[in-house]
Amino acid sequence: MWLDVATFARRAGVRTSETFDDAVVGAGILGLAHAYHLARRGRRVVVIERDDRARGASVRNFGMLWPIGQPRGALRELADRSLSAWLEVLGASGIWHRRTGSLHLAHRDDEAAVLAEFASDQRPGEGLELLEPAEVIRLAPRVRPHRLIRGLWSPHEVAVDPREVAASLPGWLAADLGVTFRFGLAVTGAGPNGLSTTAGPIEAGRVWICSGDELRYLYPDDLRRSGLVRCKLQMLRTRSAGPDGSLGPMLAAGLTLRHYAAFRECPGLDRVRARIASESPRLDRFGIHVLVSQNALGELAIGDSHEYGEPVEPFDSAEIEGLILDHLGAFLDVDGLEIASRWHGTYAKHPERPYVRLEPAPGVVVVTGVGGAGMTLSFGLAERVVADALDDR
Ligand SMILES: Cc1cc2nc3c(=O)[nH]c(=O)nc-3n(C[C@H](O)[C@H](O)[C@H](O)COP(=O)(O)OP(=O)(O)OC[C@H]3O[C@@H](n4cnc5c(N)ncnc54)[C@H](O)[C@@H]3O)c2cc1C
């Protein structure tokens, strides 16, 4: 449900002055996560979003909170911490989510070897289990048994519906934590004393810029120098899979092993990469791996591809869509499922770093470049960024 600013303010008893402790640019998931952690500290927070609602990567993704994709060590710990914060927020706000866990499927011996290597190196609490095909099908009845060798079960992954999160979270932040929202207002400049916007200045002690892959307007020179690259991803959504159409856990298969940093430590990964590169070079050319999640309505989100660099083509490729659907149909029973919508999303990513945090002026922090893990890391990353800025004095 969307609430207008006046309703937010009325429900939250928000003061009307335009002076805030913190101004957050962008109502994508990173902006909302920063607003949450700041407001929890009792600070007066305003979030400014140029669109009438968030329309960027934060509503175009799978809604996978996916700690299993993060490499073991600091980033996995950040993802686990982020998931705990997410669960607190989802529980308190009543926003739909499902603790589905995840399954990675192996259809070739080299993929099965990587899953075994990954599971054998697990740390306490990861709860990974290698499953025989029959156990996979019991958990995920739509998975095709054909050529399935094994699955890797992880209990931690959580499904959210990104559209519902972006629609409902601002209302909850306003009502429960007193965050002020200004939608339909573009920020044109930011500095130590606050923001200039298309509707005049907003005074704030600190500015947090979470403007996603919009790298052109606020501190463009710093962002250009940071090495961030934009990436375009194609996605699809089916109509509801029906009452008997439960997906079970969110699904990934062999192609995904070469996508997430988590699997890079597995010695057998090079063999998987080399085989896919020689068997199906177009999958590498378009950066395709296939993931599936399901929302409360039973609709499946399916994707995706990765095309890096400018320009980001406005038009989507039928060839990419065909490759994604072919690969999906090889491991999932999609008979009778109709495609309801198609779209692409974009995000900013750094070739080596998991995210980019800049301080281009006193009291101004820019946080972006979370790439394909922005939903997963958002609440943990924002908590850390806020603590680093406010507690290290
Ligand atoms: C297809 C796809 C699938 C993905 N799947 C997953 C997944 O399943 N799990 C996962 O963890 N991650 C996933 N990701 C990554 C994740 O969606 C992103 O990392 C994350 O949403 C980035 O959030 P953000 O807030 O930084 O950016 P955005 O969502 O892009 O938000 C930035 C906001 O800032 C606003 N803005 C920009 N400039 C201004 C300005 N000057 N004034 C006012 N407002 C401004 C924009 O309008 C926008 O709403 C996926 C991404 C894509 C594209």
In the numeric block, the tokens 């927070």 are attached to 45
- Going along the chain from its start, the domains and CATH numbers come out as 5-58+163-226+353-391 (3.50.50.60), 102-155+229-349 (3.30.9.10)
Q: How far apart are CA 29 and CA 54, in angstroms?
A: 9
Q: Which residue is closest in CA terms to ligand 1's atom 52?
A: 61
Q: Are 210 and 223 in contact (CB under 8 A)?
A: no
Residue 32 alpha carbon to ligand 1 centre in Å: 11
Predicted confidence at residue 8, as pLDDT, reads: 46
What pLDDT was estimated at residue 3? 44
Q: Residue 43 and residue 20: Cα distance in Å, rounded? A: 8
Inter-residue contact 361 to 189 (CB < 8 Å): no
* Cβ atoms of 102 and 68 closer than 8 Å: yes
pLDDT tens sequence across 170-202: 999 999 999 999 999 999 999 999 999 999 999
pLDDT value at position 245? 87
Give the pLDDT confidence score for residue 217 in this predicted structure: 95
Q: Report how far ligand 1's centroid is from the alpha carbon of 29 (Å).
A: 6
Measured from the CA of 188, which atom of ligand 1 is nearest? Answer: 41
Model pTM?
A: 0.95
- The answer to whether 96 and 105 have CB atoms below 8 angstroms apart is no
The protein residue whose alpha carbon is closest to atom 20 in ligand 1 is 374
Residue with tokens 């009502």: 175
Strand partners of residue 234: 344
| Residues of the chain predicted below pLDDT 70 | 1-17, 392-393
* Ligand 1 site residues, Cβ closer than 6 angstroms: 25-31, 48-51, 54-58, 60-64, 66, 186-187, 210-214, 217-218, 233, 235, 303-304, 345, 347, 368, 370-376
Residue with CA closest to ligand 1 atom 13: 372
In the chain, which ranges are continuous DSSP H helix? 5-12, 29-40, 74-93, 109-120, 133-139, 162-177, 220-225, 269-279, 281-285, 318-331, 374-391
Most distant pair of Cα atoms in the chain: their distance: 64
CA-wise closest residue to 123 among 85, 65, 159, 80: 80
Q: What local confidence, expressed as pLDDT, does residue 14 receive? A: 46
Ligand 1 center to residue 89 CA distance, Å? Answer: 19
- Residue type (1 letter), 138: R
* Nearest-atom index, ligand 1, CA of 218: 41
Which residue type does 110 have? D
Among 48, 211, 234, 353, name the best residue to mutate to test ligand 1's pocket (greatest count of ligand atoms within 8 A of Cβ).
211
